[in-house]
Amino acid sequence: MVHPDTCGGVRVTREDAVLCITLDRPAKRNAVDRAMADALDAALNLLDDDPTLRAGVLDGGPSVFCAGSDLAAKGDYVTARGGEYGLIRRRRRKPLIAAVEGLALGGGLEIALACDMVVAARDARLGLPEVQRGVLPTCGALFRTLQALPPAIARELVLTGQPIDAARAHAVGLVNRLSEPGQAQADARALAVQITANAPLPVQACLEAMNGLLAAADADAAGWQATEAALARIRGTEDLAEGLRAFFEKRPPVWQGR
In angstroms, rounded to a whole number, what is the distance separating the alpha carbons of residues 59 and 164?
A: 19
Is the residue at 243 inside a domain?
no
Is the residue at 99 inside a domain?
yes
In angstroms, rounded to a whole number, what is the distance separating the alpha carbons of residues 176 and 77?
A: 28
Is the residue at 252 inside a domain?
no
Number of domains comprising the chain: 1
**pLDDT value, residue 6:** 63
Q: Which residue is catalytic, options 15, 110, 238, 249?
A: 110
Is the residue at 256 inside a domain?
no
Q: What is the mean pLDDT of residues 68-96?
A: 92
Q: What is the mean pLDDT of residues 244-256?
A: 88
For the stretch 186-232, pLDDT in tens is 999 999 999 999 999 999 999 999 988 887 656 778 888 899 999 89
In angstroms, rounded to a whole number, what is the distance separating the alpha carbons of residues 106 and 62?
A: 19
Return the amino acid letter for 124.
A
Q: What is the mean pLDDT of residues 43-52?
A: 96
The DSSP secondary-structure symbol of 173 reads: T
In angstroms, rounded to a whole number, what is the distance separating the alpha carbons of residues 129 and 27?
A: 20
Is the residue at 177 inside a domain?
yes
The 3-state DSSP class for residue 227 equals helix
pTM recorded for the entire structure: 0.92
Those residues with Cβ within 8 angstroms of residue 251's Cβ, 6 or more apart along the chain or in another chain: none
**pLDDT value, residue 71:** 82
Is the residue at 247 inside a domain?
no
Pairing label, strands 10-15, 18-23: antiparallel
**How far is CA 49 from each of CA 54, 68, 120, 174, rounded to the nearest angstrom?**
10, 26, 27, 28
For the stretch 6-25, pLDDT in tens is 678 999 999 999 999 999 99
**How far is CA 18 from each of CA 56, 96, 187, 207, 237, rounded to the nearest angstrom?**
5, 10, 13, 16, 46
Q: Which domain holds residue 121?
A: 5-231
Is the residue at 238 inside a domain?
no
Is the residue at 250 inside a domain?
no
Q: Which residue is catalytic, options 130, 156, 208, 228?
A: 130
Mean confidence (pLDDT) of the chain: 93
For residue 110, indicate whether it is catalytic: yes
For residue 15, indicate whether it is catalytic: no
User: Residue 159's domain is classified under what CATH number?
Assistant: 3.90.226.10
pLDDT over 70 percentage in the chain = 96
**Residue 75: which pLDDT band, with cuts at 50, 70 and 90?**
confident
